[in-house]
Structure 1
Amino acid sequence: MENTKVVFKENGIYGEVQLFSDDKKAGKMDISVADGKLRVYHTEVNDEYEGRGFAKLLLNQLVSYAKENILRIIPLCPYVLAQFKRHPEEYSDVWLKKKL
């Protein structure tokens, strides 16, 4: 069974959204949180779990966490940015777009 959780390192700024499948770490997102902004740097799913929608599970947890904590997401990760651009209406309430 798959489950996700958000875990922060000791300094409380940098952390991970972690995905587990049958108690084995299957993937993660590298994140940081400061000043009401959640930056996501990288999404990674272990090779053996590719093609099972796990990156989307990580993204769903990221968005839920942002909403629960009233954070805006800065998608520095290519995967997250691509999803935000592909579905802008779905992420409009959490996506902090750059101002031109």
Structure 2
Amino acid sequence: MAEIKIRLNQKQHGAFYVLEGEQQMGEMVIGIAGKALTAYHTEVLPEAEGKGYGRQLLDALVAYAREHQLQVVPLCPYVHAQFKRHPENYADIWNPEAAAE
């Protein structure tokens, strides 16, 4: 079973990581500034594709944003595509009009 962890440095930059045992299978690079959580990039190892790790990382990001009352800025193409595809699932943490300003 995969485990999702978050690591942030003192400047609130870091990533969510998906681990299989001790091996990192993927990551979602993020940064937090004020009440904004920016998702920059999501990547899963080629041999781990198709196992749902990207979705697990996204779910962890969404749960973290909700828990900490943050608004997500989806600069990552994967996160942005999911937000656009299912806006009703993310309405509380994403304001697409604010991103366009």
Query: Common fold, TM-score beyond 0.5?
Result: yes
Quote the offset at 1:72 in angstroms: 0.4
Distance 1:67 1:95 in 2: 11
Quote the offset at 1:37 in angstroms: 0.3
**RMSD over aligned Cα, in angstroms?**
1.1
- The runs of at least 4 consecutive aligned structure 1 residues that moved more than 2 Å come to none
Query: Which residue is equivalent to 1:6?
Result: 6
SS of corresponding position for 1:48: helix
Distance 2:92 2:66 in 1: 8
The two structures have a TM-score, normalised by structure 1, of: 0.93
Q: Which has the higher helix share?
A: 2
Q: Which runs of 5+ in 2 are unaligned?
A: none
SS of corresponding position for 1:93: coil
Distance 2:86 2:70 in 1: 19
Q: Which runs of 5+ in 1 are unaligned?
A: none
Residue identity in the other structure for 1:59: L
What pairs with 1:17-56 in structure 2 (closer than 5 Å)? 17-56=16-55
The two structures have a TM-score, normalised by structure 2, of: 0.92
Query: Which residue is equivalent to 1:83?
Result: 82
Residue identity in the other structure for 1:6: I
